[in-house]
Amino acid sequence: MNSKFFDKVKAIIAADKPSKKDSAKSVTVVLDEMQKNQVAIDKQKQKVKDDISRGTKLTKHRISL
C-alpha cells in the first residue's frame, strides 16, 4: 500500500464524524491497491510457472528432493 492511502485513512480517523462518502472512498482506495498488488502477484506466479515449464533454474543452487 502507498502513503496516499494511509494519509486518507488518517484524515478520516482524525475527523470527528467521518461521513459515509469518505469511508467509501477509503475502502475504494484499499480495494484498488489490493487489486493492483494481486495483479502483480499473479504476473509473478505466471512467470515462475513459465520458467519451471521451460526448465529454468530458479535459484543459484539446485535443491535435491
Q: What is the pLDDT of residues 5-59, one digit of tens each?
A: 767 766 766 665 657 777 777 777 887 888 888 889 999 999 888 888 888 766 6
Domain extents for the chain?
3-53
Position 46 scores a pLDDT of 92
Between CA 40 and CA 38 the distance in angstroms is 5
Residues 31-40 pLDDT 10s: 788 888 888 9
Nearest to 28 by CA among 5, 58, 61: 5
Between CA 34 and CA 50 the distance in angstroms is 24
What value does the mean pLDDT of the chain take?
75
The reported pTM is: 0.54
Instruction: Tell me what percent of the residues of the chain surpass a pLDDT of 70.
Output: 62
